[in-house]
Structure 1
Amino acid sequence: MLRWRGLEEVPADWGRCVVTIGVFDGVHRGHAQLIETATRIAKQRGLPAVLMTFDPHPVEVLRPGSHPPQLTTLARRAELAEEMGIDVFCVMPFTPALASYSPKDFAHQMLVERLHAAEVVVGENFTFGKKAAGTVDTLRQLGERFGFGVEAVKLVGENPDTDHSVTFSSTYIRSCVDAGDMTAAAEALGRPHRVEGVVVRGDGRGRELGYPTANLAPPMYSAVPADGVYAARFRVLGAGSKVGEVVPGETYQAAVSVGTNPTFSGRARTIEAFVLDTDADLYGQHVAVDFVHRIRGMVKFNSIDELIDAIADDVKKTRDILA
């Protein structure tokens, strides 16, 4: 899969293509529907499928300081898009200048001049251009003018046409993650919610308790689940040499604590993963934690013995949940 940073990287002899546009944070089931439609049309027409996303998140540019929690890193988005059949992953730097484009300028400069879009696939609630003035109808009108077709994909959710209908969106998934509801988050994502990061040195307290942990430092703005203890799957990312008993790319069970360690009057919020059946020193490794189920909330215990008993129970429940 080709990866472009901005349209300057589009080859001069680039032909026509099918483009799907969006932030794609989460690459959730709604996004998967867009990607599936784009790749299907591209295959039918014998054209490459291009996914256009934006970085930083448009909200951060339009309202500085209000960046929403990020469900997926750009690298993870590209990985998932490639698995779904996308040929080109194009990241557009979102700047105040880009935000000021009129719908017409956006369509002409982004879609026509360099990408030569033959078909554009968007969600039925898609908006674009300055102050989100452009709608799907606007895009269709511009497509007639500039020579590209438009496919608007219906939003995906559960319990449609009922009082309990839910539309799968990044906003909805963030609310699930923030509440610690990893089951609902996974239902909307189509897979467990993942937090990536580098393992950093902690205070060593887990090892003293008999449960050494890998302390995760995620990227800024990562969507970290609510405080509590979770059953999760853990892996070292990338291709590298074996780290103790841990093989990069393979999945391991883990009991993960998110919170401030109230038993020890902690203040800093941490993500600590006790990887089952290994005591490998994972310091410096780039790892991923896939949160499967919340076992309990964060509790301040009256004694170290109570805490150790609770951790033992957390580990047992983790094994049962992930068996």
Structure 2
Amino acid sequence: MTQWHPVSQRFHIVEELAQFPAQLRGGVVAIGNFDGVHRAHQAILQQTLQLARTYKVPALALSFEPHPRSFFQPDKPVSRLSPAAQKGEIMKALGLDALIQLPFNAQLASLSAEDFVRQILVDALGITHSVTGYDFHFGKARRGTPEFLRGAGAAQGFSVVIAPAERDEGGAVISSSRIREALRCGNVIEANALLGYRYYVDACVQHGDKRGRLLGYPTANLQIDPHSVLKEGIYAVRVAVDGLIHDGVASYGRRPTFVDGQPLLEVHLFDFDGDLYDKNLRVSFAGYLRGEMKFDGPEALIQQMDLDSAQARAILDSLRPLSPLDNSLATQLHFE
């Protein structure tokens, strides 16, 4: 086998097995949905990286798009913590060599656990080791369990590491559903602690009604995932644009004082006087300030916005990166 030199390789995102680069065969693969790539996922990926470095082979992650639950229940799509592009970016930042995102469709859903192992892991990827979480299931009717994978690996010639539950400082299991619930309640502090980085969204600035400029608070209008569970309200945010980082305050909601329409993320950057239209922004959420309110008129709204801005500045003045990963993600902006 040719020795693997990861520092000389670029990060690959593979969306079809036919596109899988031959030089990535023989690697260590982490398998899971990895929505959010939170601290529990990061523990699995770190084990993958350690094995890959030990055996000098590629470090891979195998995931699925869309989320399998969204495929089986299209009327109840999963609110994604990390869309496909973000998932790849986070894994690249962690040091993996590739993310394989298999299309989750009827064909994959009907594949038996045995065929999943043989056709995908062995024939297509040629893996030598696998790492997965204690609760991961795969194959038709979810018959493939971690223990099934371990047995199949022994028969097919690859080893399997089953990662235990990762717990927070209070002893509770870290999970994507817990993070969604925290965001649903506006508790971004808890969500960020479980993610290991600050929750963020990427979007392009759209033209709006320019009402914020008339109020003395010009805003960048952003449409985010309509299925987002982010609680409507006012947030302290940090924003990346054109390679620079700005502090700001953001409103996510329906603008009840003026419009009461569809949810919109409106971001005001402190001490910024430039044109943001059609620019790509990364908005990282640092703190929840309050819920949306309907005001009697512009004067009352401006007074409250002044208070919100002062509170947001106080939060952001003492902000420090949660981790090296958080620092990397906050200062980069990636769009497909």
Which of residues 107, 117, 121 is equivalent to 2:131? Answer: 121
Pick one of 295, 302, 325 that aligns with 1:301.
Answer: 295
Q: How many residues align?
A: 307
Shift of 1:215: 0.4
Distance 2:102 2:186 in 1: 32
1:35 aligns to 2:20 (yes or no)? no
Match of 2:172 in 1: 166
Aligned partner (choices 203, 210, 233) of residue 216 of structure 2: 210
Which of 306, 310, 315 is residue 316 of structure 1 equivalent to? 310
Deviation digits for residues 138-184 of structure 1 (CA, Å, limit 9, x no counterpart): 10110111111100111112256xxxx42211111111111110000
CA distance in 2, matches of 1:229, 1:148: 50
Residues 41-99 of structure 1, C-alpha deviations (whole Å, 9 max, x = no match): 01001110011111111112112222111111222211111111101111111111101
The reply on whether 1:88 has 2:77 as its aligned counterpart is no
Q: Is the 8 A contact 1:197 1:219 kept in 2?
A: no
Partners of 1:292 and 1:14 in 2: CA distance: 38
Equivalent of residue 138 in structure 1, options 134, 148, 151:
148
Q: Answer yes or no: is the 8 Å Cα contact 2:25–2:125 preserved in 1.
A: yes
Give the percent of matched residue pairs that are identical in Structure 1 and Structure 2: 35
* TM-score where L is the length of structure 2: 0.88
What is the DSSP-based 3-state SS (H/G/I as helix, E as strand, rest coil) of the residue aligned with 1:157? Answer: coil
Question: What CA deviation, in whole Å up to 9, does each residue of 1:82-127 have, x standing for no partner?
Answer: 1111011111111111011111000111100011111110001111
Equivalences for residues 48-197 of structure 1 within 5 A: 48-159=58-169, 165-197=171-203
Per-residue CA deviation, residues 187-222 of structure 1 (Å, 9 max, x unaligned), is: 10011111121111111110110100000112454x
Secondary structure at the residue paired with 2:118?
Answer: helix
TM-score (norm. length: structure 1): 0.92
**Cα contact 1:158–1:167 (8 A) shared by 2:** yes
- Give the deviation of 1:128 after TM superposition: 0.7
Residue equivalent to 1:240: none
Aligned to 1:244: none
What do the CA deviations read for 1:270-317 (whole angstroms, capped 9, x no partner)? 110001111322111121111110011111112221110100111111
CA distance in 1, matches of 2:172, 2:274: 42
SS class of match (2:132): strand
Supply the RMSD in Å over aligned alpha carbons.
Answer: 1.4
Instruction: Give the ranges of 4+ consecutive aligned residues of structure 1 lying more than 4 Å apart after TM superposition.
Output: none
Gaps of 5+ in 1: 237-247
Task: Map Cα deviations across residues 212-247 of structure 1 (whole Å, 9 max, x no partner).
Answer: 0000112454x35211110011112xxxxxxxxxxx
SS of the residue aligned with 1:117?
A: coil
Secondary structure at 2:131's aligned position in 1? strand
Tell me if structure 2 keeps the 8 A contact 1:212–1:279: no
**Cα distance in 1 between the residues matched to 2:274 and 2:300:** 26
Which sections of structure 2, spanning at least 5 residues, go unmatched?
A: 1-10, 318-336
Q: CA deviation at 1:11?
A: 3.2
The verdict on how the C-alpha distance between 1:14 and 1:42 changes in structure 2, with shifts beyond 3 A counting, is closer
For 1:14 and 1:73, locate their aligned partners in 2 and report how far apart those are by CA, in whole Å.
24
SS at structure 1 position matched to 2:244? coil
Residue type of the partner of 1:230? Y
